[in-house]
C-alpha cells in the first residue's frame, strides 16, 4: 500500500524553485511557466460547514444513527484551504501530481486505472473513491483497513522517516510560504499565517470530511421525492437479500464506531467476497487471522468508479455481478454460497439498475469540491498567443469572454467542454477573442479549450447562478 506514502512524500522532496523576489508579477509568471496558476476562490468561502445528516439516513438501521453532531466542527475556511492543498500540483516534486490525480471528482474521487501512476511506479492497489469518509466509516482506512482515523492516515506519509526528513518538510513549508496564496489561506483558516504540517493535515481533513453524497436517486426515493422503476425495485430487493449482509444498502461496510480494530476482527466474515489474490494479503498486514480480507467498499456512485475491487480486476459492473453469480468456488467465509448466487440474466439487469440509482450527479460536479486552479493542462511549448488567453469573469453567470493577444494572427478556435471531456459548445469569435453566454448552463465546473496551430491550452471556468 505504501505507495501512497511515497506519493505523498513528494510533498516534501520538491526543489525550491521560486526566487526570493518580492516582485509578485515575477512570481506569478514563474507559476505560469510551471504550469500552475493561483487558485480562483470565492470572495466568501463556500458553505462546507452547513452539512446536515439527512433524516432518511439517521432513521435507517445501518446508517449514522442518531449522532447528528458529526459535522459540527467543520470550518468553511479550513475546508477551503484543504481544497487548494488537495488540487495543488505545485506541492509535488515534479509539480505534476496532486491528490486529485488519483482522486478525480467526476469519478467520485476515484480514477480510471486498475493501478494509478505514482511518482516512480504504479500504486499497489486501486485508488478508492472518497466520499462520506467523515461520517460513515471513520474507522478503517485503506483497502486493508489498517488505519483508524482520517487525519492520522493523511499524516502517515509525513511521519515516515524513510520518506520525509525534517529537511524535506522544511523545503515544502518554505515553498508554500512563498506562494501568493497560502499565507493568506492559513491566516483565514487558523487566524495565523504560519504554515505547519499539523495544519496541512487538519485542513485536508476538513475538506475530505465535507465530501458527502446525499442526493442520488436512491436518496430521493428514500425521501419519497421520486419512484423506482419495477426493474430498480426488483434490484433493490435482490440487493437486500443477497448483498446487504455486507454492503448495507450502498453504505460502507462497518457501523460500529468504537474499539478499532477489534470491531473489524469480530466481523471478519464480511470482509471477503471470495476472490483470490496471491499477491496481496490485505488485512493480513496487521492480523494473521485477517489474511486475505479487504474493506467492504461503499457502493455509492459505483457506476463511476470502475475498474472495481482492490486490484481493479473487473472493468464493468456486469463483470462484478457475474463474479458473485457464477464465479465463486468453495465459499470460505460462508455468507456467499459456494458456486455463487446463480442469478438469471434478468436478475443481473435488475441488480445493475439498482446500483445505478446510487449515482449522485451533484456530488460529481459540485463546485466547492472542484479544482480551484484555473489552468491545469497545457501541452504547448509556451505559445505566446495561448498563454496570453484570459477567461473572465470567472466564476461567471452570464456573458463570458475569452480574450488573448493574437500577435501572429493565426486562426484560433475555442470549445467549452464538460469536465469529462464532452464538447458543450463551440464558441463564436468576437474581435479579439470569444464570447459565450453561460447563464443557461447547469452550475458547475467547465473547461475552455483554446487551440491554434501550435497546440492547445485548457482553462477552468466556473458557472454559477
Ligand atoms: C498516485 C495516486 C494517489 C495519490 C496522488 C493520492 N492517493 Fe489517496 N489513495 C491512493 C490509493 C492507491 C489508495 C489505496 C491505498 C491502499 O488501500 O493501500 C488511496 C487511499 C486514500 C484514502 C483512504 C480511503 C479509504 O476509503 O480507505 C484517502 C482518504 C486518500 N487516499 C486521500 C488522499 C489525499 C488527501 C491525497 C493527497 C494528499 C491522496 N490521497 C493522494 C492513491 C493516491
Ligand atoms: C460477504 C460480504 C459481501 C457480500 C455478500 C457482497 N459483497 Fe460486494 N464486496 C465485498 C468486499 C469485501 C469487497 C471488496 C473486495 C476486494 O476488493 O478485495 C466488495 C466489492 C464489491 C464491489 C466493488 C466496489 C469497488 O469500489 O471496487 C461491488 C460493485 C460489489 N461488491 C457489489 C456487490 C453486490 C452487487 C453484491 C450482491 C450480489 C455483493 N457485492 C455482495 C463484500 C461483499
Closest CA to 100 of 388, 371, 345, 291: 371
Ligand 1 center–CA 12 separation, angstroms: 17
Q: How many CB atoms lie within 10 A of CB 111?
A: 22
- Please give the biggest Cα pair distance in the chain: 71
353 lines ligand 1 (CB under 6 A): no
- Judged against a pLDDT cut of 60, whether residue 16 lies above it is answered with no
Residue closest via CA to ligand 2's atom 37 equals: 243
Q: Which of 9, 96, 103, 148 to mutate to test the pocket of ligand 1 (most atoms within 8 A of CB)?
A: 103
Ligand 2 center–CA 245 separation, angstroms: 10
Q: Which of 1, 98, 127, 150 to mutate to test the pocket of ligand 1 (most atoms within 8 A of CB)?
A: 127
- In percent, the amount of the chain with pLDDT more than 90 equals 44
Q: Which ligand lies nearest to the CA atom of residue 208 in the structure?
A: 1
Whole-number Å distance between alpha carbons of 98 and 87: 5
Pocket of ligand 2 (CB under 6 A): 242-243, 245-247, 270-273, 275, 294, 296-297, 299, 302, 305, 308-310, 320-321, 324, 335-336, 341, 351
| Phi/psi of residue 285, nearest 5 degrees | -65, -25
- Judged against a pLDDT cut of 50, whether residue 221 lies above it is answered with yes
Q: What is the pLDDT of residues 295-313, one digit of tens each?
A: 989 899 999 999 999 999 9
Q: Kindly report whether the peptide bond that precedes residue 393 is cis, defined as omega within 30 degrees of 0.
A: yes
Q: What is the mean pLDDT of residues 342-351?
A: 98
Q: Would you call 133 exposed, middle or buried from its count of C-beta atoms within 10 A (0-12, 13-18, 19+)? A: buried
Residue closest via CA to ligand 2's atom 39 equals: 243
Whole-number Å distance between alpha carbons of 59 and 65: 7
Q: Would you call 121 exposed, middle or buried from its count of C-beta atoms within 10 A (0-12, 13-18, 19+)? A: exposed
Closest CA to 326 of 308, 341, 336: 341
Q: What is the mean pLDDT of residues 61-80?
A: 77
- Judged against a pLDDT cut of 60, whether residue 49 lies above it is answered with yes
Ligand 1 center–CA 404 separation, angstroms: 38
- Judged against a pLDDT cut of 80, whether residue 253 lies above it is answered with no
Residue of higher predicted confidence among 73 and 33: 73
Whole-number Å distance between alpha carbons of 143 and 147: 10
- For residue 364, give Cα distances in angstroms to 61, 201, 360: 27, 24, 7
Whole-number Å distance between alpha carbons of 36 and 441: 27
Q: What is the mean pLDDT of residues 348-363?
A: 95
Residue closest via CA to ligand 1's atom 5 equals: 99
Q: Which atom of ligand 1 is nearest to the CA of 137?
A: 26
Q: What is the mean pLDDT of residues 148-172?
A: 63
Residue 444 pLDDT: 85
Amino acid at each position: 500500500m505504501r505507495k501512497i506514502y511515497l506519493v505523498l512524500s513528494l510533498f516534501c522532496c520538491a526543489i525550491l524553485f521560486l526566487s526570493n523576489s518580492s516582485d509578485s508579477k515575477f512570481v506569478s509568471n514563474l507559476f505560469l511557466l510551471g504550469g500552475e496558476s493561483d487558485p480562483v476562490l470565492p470572495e466568501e468561502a463556500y458553505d462546507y460547514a452547513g452539512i446536515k445528516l439527512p433524516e432518511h439516513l439517521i432513521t435507517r438501521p445501518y446508517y449514522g444513527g442518531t449522532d447528528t453532531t458529526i459535522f459540527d466542527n467543520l470550518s468553511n475556511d479550513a475546508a477551503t484551504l484543504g481544497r487548494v492543498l488537495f488540487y495543488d500540483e505545485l506541492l509535488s516534486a515534479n509539480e505534476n501530481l496532486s491528490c486529485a490525480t488519483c482522486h478525480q471528482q467526476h469519478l467520485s474521487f476515484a480514477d480510471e486505472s486498475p493501478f494509478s501512476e505514482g511518482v516512480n511506479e504504479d500504486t499497489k492497489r486501486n485508488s478508492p473513491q472518497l466520499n462520506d469518509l467523515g461520517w460513515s466509516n471513520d474507522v478503517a482506512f485503506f483497502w486493508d483497513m489498517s488505519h483508524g482515523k482520517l487525519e492520522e492516515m493523511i499524516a502517515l506519509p509525513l511521519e515516515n522517516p524513510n520518506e520525509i526528513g525534517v529537511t524535506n518538510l522544511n523545503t515544502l513549508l518554505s515553498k508554500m510560504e512563498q506562494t501568493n496564496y497560502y499565507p493568506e489561506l492559513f491566516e483565514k483558516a487558523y487566524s495565523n499565517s504560519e504554515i505547519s504540517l499539523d495544519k496541512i493535515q487538519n485542513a485536508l481533513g476538513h475538506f475530505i470530511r465535507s465530501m458527502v453524497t446525499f442526493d442520488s436517486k436512491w436518496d430521493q426515493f428514500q425521501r419519497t421525492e421520486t419512484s423506482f422503476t419495477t426493474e430498480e425495485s426488483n434490484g433493490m430487493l435482490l440487493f437486500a437479500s443477497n448483498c446487504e449482509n455486507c454492503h448495507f444498502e450502498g453504505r460502507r461496510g462497518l457501523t460500529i464506531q468504537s474499539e478499532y480494530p477489534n470491531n473489524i476482527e469480530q466481523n471478519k466474515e464480511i470482509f471477503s467476497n471470495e476472490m483470490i489474490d496471491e499477491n496481496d494479503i490485505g488485512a493480513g498486514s496487521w492480523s494473521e487471522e485477517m489474511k486475505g480480507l479487504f474493506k467492504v467498499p461503499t457502493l455509492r456512485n459505483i457506476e463511476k468508479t470502475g475498474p472495481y475491487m482492490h486490484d481493479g480486476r473487473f472493468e464493468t459492473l456486469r463483470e462484478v455481478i457475474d463474479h458473485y453469480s457464477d464465479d465463486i468456488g468453495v465459499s470460505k467465509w460462508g455468507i456467499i454460497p459456494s458456486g455463487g448466487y446463480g442469478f438469471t440474466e434478468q436478475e443481473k439487469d435488475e441488480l445493475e439498475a439498482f446500483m445505478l440509482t446510487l449515482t449522485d450527479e451533484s456530488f460529481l460536479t459540485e463546485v466547492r469540491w472542484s479544482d480551484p486552479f484555473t489552468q491545469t493542462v497545457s501541452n504547448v511549448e509556451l505559445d505566446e498567443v495561448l498563454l496570453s488567453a484570459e477567461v473572465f469573469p470567472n466564476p461567471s453567470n452570464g456573458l463570458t469572454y475569452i480574450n488573448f493577444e493574437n500577435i501572429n494572427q493565426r486562426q484560433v478556435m475555442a470549445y467549452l467542454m464538460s469536465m469529462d471531456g464532452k464538447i458543450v459548445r463551440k464558441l463564436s469569435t468576437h474581435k479579439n477573442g470569444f464570447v459565450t453566454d453561460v447563464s443557461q448552463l447547469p452550475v458547475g465546473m467547465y473547461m475552455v479549450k483554446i487551440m491554434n496551430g501550435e497546440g492547445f491550452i485548457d482553462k477552468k471556468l466556473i458557472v454559477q447562478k
